């Protein structure tokens, strides 16, 4: 772990927290911390709860890195896509306790996990790439296709529609919403439920169910490496 990602081991789960400033941006350091934390959780054989800070899960990729150059944007996006691939094929259940806003890569992390709990309130959740001048990358489309219905795929990816917490449940970004003070207790309760799953059966079944999507995502990452990824003004 590092200063941007903390790791706390509990009886039935581990709690991994992203803490990177006001936007809780997904930077190289955050991705590194998440990868290390997930590896540790796998070693401990524990259910994962991934969360952010009060009011925000994550506002997406670090814009300083994304606007620095096409190469720096591609490097960060590739690392982010590879993180999603790791999460989607992770042998233990991953629960996200979404503290509020989840935009762009923040929302993609929701789509890369097994169970998503959001909070009631005036929060924004969705994929704003097209709105900020970024042609959606192949990996982003592959992740969205694996979790969103055709209607919400088009509304989210093509139209950059942003949803309230309540509507994010209908769209497929969240599974349930709870009052803010119930967020972590609910996640811990769900983690305890998940400990009743047979670990090997869960891991093997997940890979079977997601096989076509995981293959599509691997191919998409390769396609993105061959293209420029940048934000147009």
Q: Report DSSP letters for 52-117, one per residue.
A: -BTEEEE--B-HHHHHH-HHHHHHHHHHHHHHHHHHHT-SS-EEEE--EEEETHHHHHHHTSSEEE
208 located within any domain: no
Domain with residue 151: its CATH number is 3.90.226.10
Give this prediction's pTM.
0.96
CB-based contact 186:178 (threshold 8 Å)? yes
In a domain? residue 232: no
Give the angle subtended at the CA of 220 by the CAs of 46 and 172, to the nearest 5°. 55
**pLDDT per residue as tens digits for the range 74-99:** 999 999 999 999 999 999 999 999 99
Which structural domain range is residue 22 located in?
5-182+190-194
Strand ranges of the sheet holding 100-103, from the earlier edge strand across to the other edge = 55-58, 100-103, 125-126, 162-163
Q: What percent of the chain clears pLDDT 90, i.e. is strictly above it? A: 91
8: confidence class by pLDDT, cuts 50, 70, 90 = very high
The predicted pLDDT at position 167 comes to 97
Number of domains present in the structure of the chain: 1
| Domain annotation covers residue 225 | no
What is the average pLDDT across 204-212? 98
Closest CA relative to residue 36, chosen from 81, 3, 78, 70: 3
What pLDDT, on the 0 to 100 scale, is given for residue 233?
58
State the pLDDT confidence band at 2, using cuts at 50, 70 and 90. confident
Look at residue 74 and tell me if it is in a domain: yes
Q: Is the pLDDT of residue 231 over 80?
A: no
Q: Is residue 201 part of a domain?
A: no
**80 within a domain of the structure (yes/no):** yes
* Residue 83 included in any domain: yes
Does residue 209 belong to any structural domain of this protein? no
């Amino acid at each position: 772990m590092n200063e941007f990602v903390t790791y706390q081991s509990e009886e039935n789960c581990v709690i991994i927290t992203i803490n990177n400033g006001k936007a809780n941006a997904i930077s190289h350091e955050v991705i590194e911390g998440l990868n290390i934390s997930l590896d540790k959780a796998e070693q401990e054989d524990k259910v994962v709860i991934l969360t952010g800070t009060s009011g925000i899960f994550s506002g997406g990729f670090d814009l300083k890195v994304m606007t620095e150059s096409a190469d720096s944007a591609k490097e960060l996006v590739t690392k982010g896509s590879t993180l999603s691939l790791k999460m989607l094929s992770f042998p233990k259940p991953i629960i996200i306790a979404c503290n509020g806003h989840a935009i762009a890569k923040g929302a993609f992390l929701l789509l890369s996990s097994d169970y998503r709990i959001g909070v009631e309130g005036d929060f924004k959740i969705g994929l704003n790439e097209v709105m900020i001048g970024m042609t959606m990358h192949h990996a982003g489309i592959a992740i969205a296709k694996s979790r969103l219905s055709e209607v919400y795929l088009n509304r989210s990816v093509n139209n950059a529609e942003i949803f309230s917490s309540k509507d994010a449940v209908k769209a497929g970004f969240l599974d349930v919403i709870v009052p803010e003070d119930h967020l972590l207790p609910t996640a811990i309760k769900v983690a305890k439920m998940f400990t009743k799953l047979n670990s090997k059966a869960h891991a093997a079944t997940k890979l079977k169910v997601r096989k076509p999507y995981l293959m599509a995502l691997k191919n998409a990452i390769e396609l993105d490496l061959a293209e420029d990824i940048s934000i147009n003004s």
